[in-house]
């Protein structure tokens, strides 16, 4: 499914096309895609809200498949191995960010389904150093959301500075939040969920939230940390009001509408911290996949055929999915 022009998802920006099978270069593997998760980032990509996307482009960055072919100079995987491919496609390994464990900030990084073709397709080539071995206890379709929703949610948890037993707020309850809440519960955190959708609030309570309300409501307790998954800048301000002194609000999305003017005394003073979460490192992915297997995390998925990718994105945009959307690549 190929983006041929940026437009609202209601206008079906993705077209089903035959394209050439990728050829793996040195250090790369060719992956036969079985499932690919559908992400809010894909929605922002096809609707033209993210800069630097050249067309045509195949989106998708939560890929589960098997190794079909190994290029020269590969040694980590063999044909038939099950692998996952995530958002970070490549980093230089040499810059000051890469050398300091911050490859997610590498100026030469490239991202799957954004600067290179992704997983809304039968085949995908990827550097083998950036592919993941997946835990065995996850079926393919349930493993797909772990590769972005799970990994970025885990990084957001870390950057929110939440500690076991503390009070955590989650603003927005889509694919990433429904995984993140399970890790937070494993850490014995009390979780407060904020969502416009009554269906999503009910889902959050079923997954262990101690309280669920609308984004403009104040929770019954001050929060130690909060994560904003909703792509609305106003929600960041609401989260700052809900956290206690010294609390941190982490913005987990790649896209956010403008944040309104902040009242310093009401929303930032007392050493509150507002920070963004930019991409994720391979270390984040490795740590999260181990934790996901230990919990174990259970992803709830709604599966669509590849040809119905536009419908899957529409359902995400209009909050019609509990959990995550996943494409089945037949």
d(CA 199, CA 203): 6
Model confidence at 33: pLDDT above 90: yes
Query: How do residues 245-266 score in pLDDT, each as one tens digit?
Result: 999 999 999 999 999 999 999 9
d(CA 138, CA 136): 6
How remote is the C-alpha of 150 from its chain's centroid?
Answer: 6
The per-residue DSSP string of 117-184 comes to --SSSSEEEEEGGGEEEPPTTS-HHHHGGGGTHHHHHHHHHHHTT--TTSEEEEES-SHHHHHHHHHH
d(CA 282, CA 266): 37
pLDDT (mean) for 117-140: 97
d(CA 149, CA 165): 23
- Tell me if 127 sits within 8 A of 89, measured CB to CB: yes
Closest CA to 174 of 209, 208, 199: 199
pLDDT confidence band for 330 (50 / 70 / 90):
confident
* Residue with tokens 């870390």, as numbered in its chain: 158
Closest CA to 152 of 50, 51, 253: 253
Closest CA to 65 of 116, 141, 3: 141
Q: Is 135 helix (H, G, I), strand (E, B) or coil?
A: coil
Average pLDDT, the chain: 97
Handedness of CA 322, 302, 316, 106 (dihedral sign): positive
Residue 190 is predicted with a pLDDT of: 98
pLDDT (mean) for 215-230: 97
Query: How do residues 13-26 score in pLDDT, each as one tens digit?
Result: 999 999 999 999 99
pLDDT confidence band for 61 (50 / 70 / 90):
very high
Q: Which helix (H) or strand (E) holds 302?
A: strand 301-305
**Residues sharing a CB contact under 8 Å with residue 139, sequence separation 6 or more, in sequence order:** none
Query: How do residues 279-329 score in pLDDT, each as one tens digit?
Result: 999 999 999 999 999 999 999 999 999 999 999 999 999 999 999 999 999
d(CA 258, CA 262): 11
Alpha helical stretches, state H, 107-174: 140-143, 149-159
Query: How do residues 75-86 score in pLDDT, each as one tens digit?
Result: 999 999 999 999
The domains found in the chain, sorted by start residue, are: 2-147+299-328 (3.90.180.10), 151-276 (3.40.50.720)
- pTM reported for the whole predicted model: 0.95
Angle at Cα 303 formed by Cα 298 and Cα 306, nearest 5°?
Answer: 135
Strands 273-276 and 243-251: parallel
Buried b (16+ CB within 10 A) or exposed e, 91-100: beeebebbee
* Residue with tokens 């119905």, as numbered in its chain: 308
Indicate the DSSP class of residue 259: P
Q: Partners of 35 in the beta sheet?
A: 64, 328
The widest CA-to-CA distance across the chain, in whole angstroms, is 59
Model confidence at 154: pLDDT above 90: yes
pLDDT confidence band for 178 (50 / 70 / 90):
very high
Q: Which helix (H) or strand (E) holds 203?
A: helix 198-206
Structure tokens at 288: 């999260």
Residue 211, number of CB atoms within 10 A of its CB: 18
Q: Is 153 helix (H, G, I), strand (E, B) or coil?
A: helix
* C-alpha gyration radius of the chain: 19
């Amino acid at each position: 499914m190929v983006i041929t022009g940026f437009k609202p998802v209601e206008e079906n920006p993705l077209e089903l096309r035959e394209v050439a099978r990728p050829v793996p270069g040195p250090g790369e593997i060719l992956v036969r895609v079985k499932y690919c998760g559908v992400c809010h980032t894909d929605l922002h990509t096809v609707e033209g809200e993210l800069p630097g996307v050249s067309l045509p482009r195949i989106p998708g960055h939560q890929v589960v498949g098997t190794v079909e072919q190994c290029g020269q100079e590969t040694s980590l995987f063999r044909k038939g191995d099950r692998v996952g491919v995530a958002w970070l496609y490549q980093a230089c390994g040499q810059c000051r960010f890469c050398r300091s464990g911050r490859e997610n900030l590498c100026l030469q990084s490239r991202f799957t389904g954004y600067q290179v073709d992704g997983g809304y397709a039968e085949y995908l080539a990827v550097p083998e150093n950036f592919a993941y071995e997946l835990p065995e206890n996850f079926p393919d379709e349930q493993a797909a959301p772990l590769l972005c929703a799970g990994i970025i949610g885990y990084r957001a948890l870390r950057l929110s500075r939440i500690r076991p037993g503390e009070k955590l707020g989650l603003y927005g309850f889509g694919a990433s939040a429904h995984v993140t809440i399970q890790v937070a519960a494993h850490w014995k955190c009390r979780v407060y969920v904020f969502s416009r959708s009554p269906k999503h609030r009910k889902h959050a309570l079923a997954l262990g939230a101690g309280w669920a309300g609308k984004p403009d409501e104040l929770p019954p307790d001050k929060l130690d940390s909060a994560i904003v998954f909703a792509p609305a800048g106003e929600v960041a301000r609401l989260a700052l009001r809900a956290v206690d002194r010294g609390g941190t609000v982490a913005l987990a999305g790649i896209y956010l509408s403008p944040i309104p003017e902040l009242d310093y005394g009401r929303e930032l003073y007392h050493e509150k911290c507002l920070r963004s979460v930019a991409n994720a490192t391979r270390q984040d992915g490795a740590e999260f996949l181990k934790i996901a297997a230990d919990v174990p995390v259970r992803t709830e998925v709604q599966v669509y055929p590849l040809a119905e990718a536009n419908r899957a994105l529409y359902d995400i945009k209009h909050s019609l999915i509990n959990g995550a959307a996943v494409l089945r690549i037949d």
